[in-house]
Amino acid sequence: MASDISDICIIGTGHTRFGRLDDNLETLIVTASREALHEAGLSGDAIDAIFISHFNSGLVRDSFVSSLVLQTDPGLRFKPSTRVENACASGTAAIHAGMAAILAGQAKRVLVVGAEKMTSRSTPEVTEALAGAGYQNNPAEAALSFPGVFALAAQAYGERHGDPLPAMAQIASKNHMNAMANPLAHMRRPMTVADCATIGDRNPVVAPPLRLTDCSLVSDGAAALVLTSTDLAQGHEHVARFRAAVQVNDLLPMSLRDLAAFEGPARAIRRAYSEAGIGVDDLGFAEVHDCFTIAELMIYEAMGLAEAGNGAEAIASGRVLREGRTPVNLSGGLKAKGHPIGATGVSMHVMAFRQLTGNAGEIQAPNPRAGLVFNMGGVAVANYASILSSC
């Protein structure tokens, strides 16, 4: 029986392609879940509990999704299945719920699946749905879209530390180039730094100073994984172990926080390092929440890759590039892999698992050692940091 987080492992994963897909939400859920069970070598009978992450907010008519996953395998029928939602961090919130069930002795094996169907709605409709994750009790904040919210963060950062736009263009280009090697990514199209830095018809300003290339994609997709304890993981071909799993929530109103500093992410990541007994130099890769390029820039600083205000050094030095010491978002990140809200956090952990088990294909890190996953909801409001390693 698992006694702490380090006794919990991932033993199987599933992942649909992300993009503008014909599949409905049910098909996405079932496809990813079936692949995860197959990779783990398990039937539905072996699963004790299911947690499904799904944001929705009116994006689809399916408001009661927890039992859709039961159609994955006859053995899942009558198993407890619970929907988990925590904005863009819903996926990792579902993983935490699954780990809690194992640690409490309520389950031995847990299936976690995250899914979202977004492209059946127009861009304005999606923007409005996502805006509901902001603070609604202040008219000024409630009127903002999420590009508008992160534009404020970019403005605040620029006023304090200098123009972040050149580094943001480098981040966008890096993640698009990484996605070229990821067959699951939504946008597999190379974009140079000049492409991302140049404002024009193909790259308009969305919310000053954010350009279109600074924004993540509206995507459909699903990802799934199977959790169990280290003792039950023995004998499985592919296993990755959690070394830390930390959640830190901050205040929702932006007016009560410093938008130029990612305090919640920094606290979550520092605690994760401490619990895992490692430092930033021990990471072989990281998958982080680049919903907007300014977020990835500020996460570099929260990770300890650079001092406050010097996040640009992490990419200028090459450290976070594919061939660098600590490659970040080898998958293409939310920027190019895609950002189907409920699937995102689960997808990031699937990507980490595949890195650590040597099954990441063309995006494989040369020396994965340990990996960081950082997933957040809102503007650094719900912050989740995981450290994983191979077994």
Terminal CA-CA length for the chain: 17
Q: Cα–Cα distances in Å, from 239 out to 60, 110, 371?
A: 35, 15, 14
Q: What is the C-alpha to C-alpha distance for residues 246 and 266, in angstroms, rounded to an integer? A: 11
Residue tagged active-site, from 88, 196, 215, 291: 88
Cβ neighbours for 273, distance < 8 A, ≥ 6 positions apart: 244, 279, 280, 304, 387
CB 116 within 8 A of CB 341: yes
Average pLDDT over residues 283-311: 98
CA proximity to 300, closest of 282, 314, 287, 317: 314
Cβ neighbours for 227, distance < 8 A, ≥ 6 positions apart: 8, 9, 10, 11, 95, 98, 99, 102, 109, 110, 112
What's at 346, amino acid-wise?
Answer: V
What pLDDT, in 10s, does the model give residues 187-207?
999 999 999 999 999 999 999
pLDDT of residue 1 exceeding 70:
no
Q: What are 203's two structure tokens?
A: 């790259």
pLDDT of residue 364 exceeding 70:
yes
pLDDT at 369: 87
Average pLDDT over residues 35-56: 97
Q: Cα–Cα distances in Å, from 59 out to 69, 115, 124?
A: 19, 12, 11
Q: What are 366's two structure tokens?
A: 């040369």
Percent over 70 (pLDDT), the chain: 100
Confidence class of residue 74 from pLDDT cuts 50, 70 and 90?
very high
* Range with lowest mean pLDDT among 85-89, 121-125, 219-223, 381-385: 121-125
Q: What is the C-alpha to C-alpha distance for residues 353 and 390, in angstroms, rounded to an integer? A: 8
Average pLDDT over residues 22-36: 97
- What angle separates helix 293-303 from helix 165-179, to the nearest 10 degrees? 100
Assign 265 to helix, strand or coil.
helix
Residue tagged active-site, from 15, 54, 236, 339: 339
pLDDT of residue 336 exceeding 90:
yes
**Residue whose structure tokens are 């974009």:** 191
Q: What is the C-alpha to C-alpha distance for residues 261 and 153, in angstroms, rounded to an integer? A: 9
Percent over 90 (pLDDT), the chain: 93
pLDDT at 391: 82
161 is a catalytic site residue: no
Confidence class of residue 57 from pLDDT cuts 50, 70 and 90?
confident
pLDDT of residue 3 exceeding 80:
no
291 is a catalytic site residue: no
CB 309 within 8 A of CB 297: no
pLDDT of residue 2 exceeding 90:
no
Confidence class of residue 175 from pLDDT cuts 50, 70 and 90?
very high
pLDDT of residue 130 exceeding 90:
no
Q: What is the C-alpha to C-alpha distance for residues 317 and 246, in angstroms, rounded to an integer? A: 29
Q: What is the C-alpha to C-alpha distance for residues 118 and 374, in angstroms, rounded to an integer? A: 22
Q: What is the C-alpha to C-alpha distance for residues 9 and 47, in angstroms, rounded to an integer? A: 14
CB 4 within 8 A of CB 103: yes
What values do phi and psi take at 300, rounded to 5? Answer: -55, -45
